[in-house]
Chain A
Amino acid sequence: MASITSSYNPREIDNTEDMPGRRAPLITGNQTYTSVTEMVCRVAEDPQPRLWWILFGMASLTASMFLMLIGFLIYKGVGIWGNSSPVFWAWPIVNFVFWVGIGHAGTLISAILFLFRQNWRTSINRAAEAMTIFAVICAGIYPGIHVGRAWLAFWLLPYPSLNLWMWPQFRSPLLWDVFAVGTYASTSLVFWYMGMIPDLATYRDRSKSPLRRFIYGLLCLGWTGSSRHWLVYEKAYTLLAALAAPLVLSVHTVVSFDFAVSQLPGWHTTIFPPYFVAGAIFSGFAMVVTLLVPMRAIYKLENLITLRHLDNMNKIILATGSLVGLAYGTEFFMAWYSQNQYESFTFINRAFGPYWWAYWIMVTCNVISPQLFWFKWMRTNVVAMWVVSIFVNIGMWFERFVITVTSLSRDFLPSSWGYYRPTLFDGLMFFGSFGVFMTLFLLFCRYLPTIAISEVKGVMSASDHSSHLEAEVLAELQGKDPKHAGHAH
């Protein structure tokens, strides 16, 4: 079965087949160790394509706007936002949860798929981890500036204060959040960095200019590829993966506690931790697809990030999207089954109250749109999957909006009910965070190894002597494309 896209892109080989008894290769194009190194290093060594400069210009302008808006916010106060009684947790918290959720896919792909020996993770884990770091940076900005007096945000930390003579309150979920997100950000950072050390050494050893060699030499800490080092390194990597996997689950659990530990109907439910974690993985994978589809096209990485990788990710999006849909349904069921009138009101109000539009955008984007991935055609068509991933991103933002705003705007006291309206600053500051995210991601593509070179080679090596069938399957798949038949070497 030739894929739709292979007809116009000779690098696009459909290696997604699932035939019993034979295994399609993970990476295509008869790659050798040399060619894999070449293909990844080229991204940072060649002059960047014009599109990179255009995107970088736009992203860095947007990021600068964001930083200026933060400055204005600190100068003027949080009154420039639409947050007002009774909705004091509005867009800043929605954006925080949105970005933290996105930041879950990277470590999940790295850690959980590593522990489950899912070899297809190797082509996508680096970019996903980078995405995690940048998303968590964006997430961390919002609570920091939402506290009002941002210059006192360090009061969240347990430090021996000479002015306050007191300690943080360790029974508050908001404090747990500080610890969870802080641990997650720093652990993800070292996980990402440690994974990059061997690839940075590759960059160093390929460097032509002394300055480049010096900088990459510093960054890779003098890595030589010694087998004695590799042994400790692999053990450390396995340990980190085993530590990071429960960490991923705990972080969004704690984020959900911010809501679930309160008494507000619509928040006070035990379903929140698994529901939030499923949503986070869902949105994170969607963001990975959103980023990797253009990235592999711009940098011609289709042979490393193949349709099979994308197909697998789309399957996870389908699974987690259905989980999220199940959670929405369960919430309604529990509202009815508990016979709690406040709970019932909250959920009827969510779907049919003043924010009905947000609720149905959420359901359409999160529950209905990923169902298209039941069709293999959708899972292997890059344009179609990119569109669906954008829908999922939109839907997951609206999920956080629905949870936060509909519950707050209709609390126990009808006299204080209100309708939340964002201001221009809310919109610009959410848009601005995408500028920060994209700027960092583009710089990452420009300067750091976008694909875990050593891990891809490790998987190539394993498949090399475990199954010679793969090469045959690959040759057969490549031979199917008449335009490409002569090109296969």
Chain B
Amino acid sequence: MNNNEHNVKSNKEPRPPKACGWMAEFENEHDLLHAAEKVRDAGYTKTDAFTPFPVHGIDHALGIKPTILPFIVLCAGLTGLCTALLMQWWMNGVDYKYIISGKPFGITPASIPVSFELTILFSAFTSVLGMLALNGLPKFSNPVFTNAKFDRATNDRFFLYVDATDKYYNRESVKELLSSVHANSLDEVMEDSTPSELPRSILLGALLIVLAGLIPAAIVLNMRASFSDLPRWHVFFDMDFQPKKKPQQTTTIFKDGRTMRPQVPGTISRGQLDQQDPFYLGYDPMKVTSIDSEKPIYVSTGDSLANVSAVSGAVQPPAGGTPTTGAAPVLPFLEKLPIEANEENIKLGKAKYEIYCSACHGYSGYGDGLVSKRAASLAQDTWTPPSSLHLDRIQKQPVGQIFHTISKGQGKMASYASSITPQERWSIVLYVRALQRSRNANIEDVPVDQRGSLTAPAPSQTK
């Protein structure tokens, strides 16, 4: 309700408005000060002046005591300072420690800016709110608003007021006193008789607004307490949906339609330098020619090598099977051993052969190892017997191919790359070559001076 309405309309209350005191109007602040001194000297204390600007000396003239506001503000400032220090100490030094350049936790010089700002913030708001509180503001209903004349108190007139609650107040004597101080005019201030309760329509409107304001909060509370099978709303996408391609997806950007790009030919990945060395491969990767000219084969990585061996495995005859006609060797296998053929290497190869190979291939390489014999005796048709290393086909294989077979496996034979080092694998190849040579030798192979020592005839040869 508009309490500032100065035109008092038809009074609903039967009681006539009560007088609150006398108000004298002055042209300028000097007359006001003069009059205020007289009123003060007459002993009145429930007095006030209404002026368009703060008139200096009026506090003395009216006998107004100084305000305690500065002390309130001081307390607020100290509260702000302590709040800031405690907050920073607890948040960064206790509850969630940040390690910044090894500096101590808690209060440091870096705490000064925030402490300063909060001190100011608390003090400033206390100044304003304290001022309003000490002045009893906001106060929308005031007897001084009942007379339109008093509107000039904020413009160009100065008013002196003596309140009826003063202990020396007497209506006639105050009127007489104020008449004697050269006031422009003198009015009796009447109480604000406009109804003080709010109209129903405003109350209802306010209630509806408050209720409507509760709806979002109610929805949020309901959502926090209940479950839903629906995916969450993406008001903001954050990083949930990104315009990017993942490895197994297709794309139109590249000709082959794959999002994942193969490596550039010749790329050597970190830690895979040995993949380029024939010593580790059994063949020279630089001499690999493409099997299918339309699909280039990359030989640079382990994955690509797997492709190559898979392809070569497909065109090579399965172990123990019949040779596939027309299949040319696809890999440029080494023809020459990369290690020295000496006694030490042969002994190493023999030792490793007997550990890893002899179980299937047999000590002499005829494919008659214990595992093989046992499997044959069980007559399981899932068993593929190991090849005899003395087959003509295998004898003709380059050393690199035997190394490759050990490294990658063949048919039922598993890869031994993880168990046997490349050096040992080459030693085994050397030993296999020695076995083949010894098992398929004739007397001409024996040095002339040694032939005499061969008292027994050579074992049956099935060349």
Binding site for B on A (CB under 8 A): 32-34, 37, 149, 151, 158, 165-171, 173, 175-176, 179-180, 182-183, 186-187, 190-191, 193-194, 198, 201-202, 204-206, 210, 213-214, 217-218, 221-236, 239-240, 243-244, 246-247, 250, 254, 257, 453-455, 457-458, 461-462, 465
Contact A187-B121, Cβ < 8 Å, known A202-B52, A230-B51, A243-B127 = yes
Q: Could you give 25 example pairs across A and B, Cβ below 8 Å?
A: A169-B100, A170-B91, A171-B100, A179-B113, A183-B120, A186-B124, A186-B125, A187-B124, A194-B131, A201-B154, A205-B154, A214-B4, A217-B140, A221-B138, A222-B141, A224-B144, A225-B153, A226-B48, A226-B50, A231-B66, A233-B54, A233-B135, A240-B124, A254-B113, A254-B117
Q: Are A227 and B124 in contact (CB under 8 A)?
A: no
**Nearest CB to that of B54 among chain A residues?**
A230
Binds A, one of B67-75, B388-396, B440-448: B67-75
Q: Which of B59, B100, B137 contacts A222 (CB 8 A)?
A: B137
Complex formed: what's the CA distance from A190 to B111 in Å? 26
**Nearest CB to that of B124 among chain A residues?**
A187
**Nearest CB to that of A188 among chain B residues?**
B124
Contact A250-B64, Cβ < 8 Å, known A223-B137, A232-B134, A461-B29 = no
> A224 to chain B: which residues have CB within 8 Å?
50, 142, 144-145, 153
Q: Are A235 and B153 in contact (CB under 8 A)?
A: no
Q: Does B246 make an interface contact (CB < 8 A)?
A: no
Complex formed: what's the CA distance from A210 to B9 in Å? 14
Q: Which of A186, A205, A235, A457 contacts B70 (CB 8 A)?
A: A235
Complex formed: what's the CA distance from A246 to B117 in Å? 10
**Nearest CB to that of B132 among chain A residues?**
A221
Q: Are A233 and B151 in contact (CB under 8 A)?
A: no
Q: Are A190 and B125 in contact (CB under 8 A)?
A: yes
Q: Which of A186, A210, A453 contacts B2 (CB 8 A)?
A: A210
Contact A167-B92, Cβ < 8 Å, known A190-B128, A239-B70, A250-B116 = yes
Q: Are A167 and B52 in contact (CB under 8 A)?
A: no
> A193 to chain B: which residues have CB within 8 Å?
128
Complex formed: what's the CA distance from A257 to B110 in Å? 11
Complex formed: what's the CA distance from A217 to B87 in Å? 40
**Nearest CB to that of B103 among chain A residues?**
A171
- Chain B interface residue count, Cβ-Cβ cutoff 8 angstroms: 70
Q: Which of A33, A171, A210, A235 contacts B156 (CB 8 A)?
A: A33
> B139 to chain A: which residues have CB within 8 Å?
221-222
Complex formed: what's the CA distance from A234 to B70 in Å? 11
Complex formed: what's the CA distance from A210 to B1 in Å? 11
Contact A183-B137, Cβ < 8 Å, known A167-B92, A217-B2 = no
Question: Would you give the shortest CB distance from B104 to chain A, in whole angstroms?
Answer: 11
Q: Are B154 and A171 in contact (CB under 8 A)?
A: no
Question: Would you give the shortest CB distance from A471 to chain B, in whole angstroms?
Answer: 15
Interface centre among B108, B131, B236 (most CB of A within 10 A): B131
Given contacts A158-B91, A202-B154, A206-B155, 18 further A-B contacts (CB under 8 A): A32-B156, A33-B52, A37-B52, A170-B91, A170-B92, A171-B108, A186-B121, A214-B4, A221-B138, A223-B154, A224-B50, A230-B58, A232-B134, A233-B131, A235-B70, A243-B124, A244-B124, A457-B53
Q: Are B49 and A227 in contact (CB under 8 A)?
A: yes
Complex formed: what's the CA distance from A149 to B240 in Å? 13
Q: Does B193 make an interface contact (CB < 8 A)?
A: no
Complex formed: what's the CA distance from A206 to B157 in Å? 13
Complex formed: what's the CA distance from A254 to B56 in Å? 39
Contact A166-B124, Cβ < 8 Å, known A228-B48, A235-B69 = no
**Nearest CB to that of A176 among chain B residues?**
B113
Q: Does B123 make an interface contact (CB < 8 A)?
A: yes
Interface centre among B111, B114, B138, B151 (most CB of A within 10 A): B114
Q: Are B111 and A170 in contact (CB under 8 A)?
A: yes
Question: Would you give the shortest CB distance from A427 to chain B, in whole angstroms?
Answer: 26
Q: Are B4 and A179 in contact (CB under 8 A)?
A: no
User: What 1/0 flags go to B1-43 for Cβ under 8 Å of A?
Assistant: 0111100000000000000000000000110000000000000
Q: Which of B3, B127, B132, B154 contacts A225 (CB 8 A)?
A: B154
Q: Are A231 and B156 in contact (CB under 8 A)?
A: no
Contact A461-B55, Cβ < 8 Å, known A179-B117, A232-B69 = yes
User: What 1/0 flags go to B85-121 for Cβ under 8 Å of A?
Assistant: 0011001100110101001000010110110111011
Q: Does B62 make an interface contact (CB < 8 A)?
A: yes
Complex formed: what's the CA distance from A322 to B120 in Å? 30
Q: Which of A173, A176, A231 contacts B59 (CB 8 A)?
A: A231
Q: Are A183 and B59 in contact (CB under 8 A)?
A: no
Interface centre among A183, A457, A462 (most CB of B within 10 A): A183
**Nearest CB to that of A453 among chain B residues?**
B52
> A227 to chain B: which residues have CB within 8 Å?
48-51, 54-55, 58-59, 62, 64
Q: Does B437 make an interface contact (CB < 8 A)?
A: no
Q: Does B338 make an interface contact (CB < 8 A)?
A: no
Question: Would you give the shortest CB distance from A254 to chain B, in whole angstroms?
Answer: 5
Complex formed: what's the CA distance from A112 to B81 in Å? 23
> B141 to chain A: which residues have CB within 8 Å?
222
Complex formed: what's the CA distance from A336 to B31 in Å? 68
Q: Are A179 and B70 in contact (CB under 8 A)?
A: no
Q: Does B172 make an interface contact (CB < 8 A)?
A: no
Question: Would you give the shortest CB distance from A460 to chain B, in whole angstroms?
Answer: 8
Q: Are B137 and A37 in contact (CB under 8 A)?
A: no
Binding site for A on B (CB under 8 A): 2-5, 29-30, 48-56, 58-59, 62, 64, 66-67, 69-70, 73, 87-88, 91-92, 95-96, 98, 100, 103, 108, 110-111, 113-114, 116-118, 120-121, 123-125, 127-128, 130-132, 134-135, 137-142, 144-145, 151-156, 235-236, 238
**Nearest CB to that of B30 among chain A residues?**
A465
Question: Would you give the shortest CB distance from A151 to chain B, in whole angstroms?
Answer: 5
Q: Are B123 and A239 in contact (CB under 8 A)?
A: yes
Q: Are A214 and B137 in contact (CB under 8 A)?
A: no
Contact A234-B54, Cβ < 8 Å, known A167-B96, A206-B151, A217-B140 = yes
Question: Would you give the shortest CB distance from A121 to chain B, in whole angstroms?
Answer: 15
> A151 to chain B: which residues have CB within 8 Å?
235-236
> A250 to chain B: which residues have CB within 8 Å?
113, 116-117, 120
Q: Are A176 and B114 in contact (CB under 8 A)?
A: yes
**Nearest CB to that of B109 among chain A residues?**
A171
Question: Would you give the shortest CB distance from A159 to chain B, in whole angstroms?
Answer: 11
> B98 to chain A: which residues have CB within 8 Å?
169, 171
Q: Are A458 and B53 in contact (CB under 8 A)?
A: yes
Q: Lowest 7 A-B CB distances belong to which pairs?
A: A221-B138, A236-B131, A167-B91, A205-B151, A33-B156, A176-B113, A230-B54
> A458 to chain B: which residues have CB within 8 Å?
53-54
Complex formed: what's the CA distance from A176 to B110 in Å? 9
Question: Would you give the shortest CB distance from B427 to chain A, in whole angstroms?
Answer: 49
Complex formed: what's the CA distance from A100 to B151 in Å? 39
Question: Would you give the shortest CB distance from A425 to chain B, in whole angstroms?
Answer: 19
Contact A229-B137, Cβ < 8 Å, known A158-B91, A198-B154 = yes
Q: Are B95 and A167 in contact (CB under 8 A)?
A: yes
Complex formed: what's the CA distance from A223 to B153 in Å? 10
**Nearest CB to that of A204 among chain B residues?**
B4
Q: Which of B5, B52, B127 contacts A454 (CB 8 A)?
A: B52
**Nearest CB to that of B238 among chain A residues?**
A149
Complex formed: what's the CA distance from A468 to B196 in Å? 49
Q: Are A236 and B52 in contact (CB under 8 A)?
A: no
**Nearest CB to that of B130 among chain A residues?**
A236
Question: Would you give the shortest CB distance from B53 to chain A, in whole angstroms?
Answer: 4
Q: Are A179 and B54 in contact (CB under 8 A)?
A: no
Q: Are B53 and A455 in contact (CB under 8 A)?
A: yes
Complex formed: what's the CA distance from A226 to B143 in Å? 12
Complex formed: what's the CA distance from A254 to B118 in Å? 14
Q: Are B127 and A231 in contact (CB under 8 A)?
A: no
> A201 to chain B: which residues have CB within 8 Å?
154
Complex formed: what's the CA distance from A186 to B140 in Å? 25
Q: Which of B52, B100, B120 contacts A187 (CB 8 A)?
A: B120
**Nearest CB to that of A229 among chain B residues?**
B135
**Nearest CB to that of B161 among chain A residues?**
A226
Complex formed: what's the CA distance from A173 to B112 in Å? 11
> A225 to chain B: which residues have CB within 8 Å?
50-52, 153-154
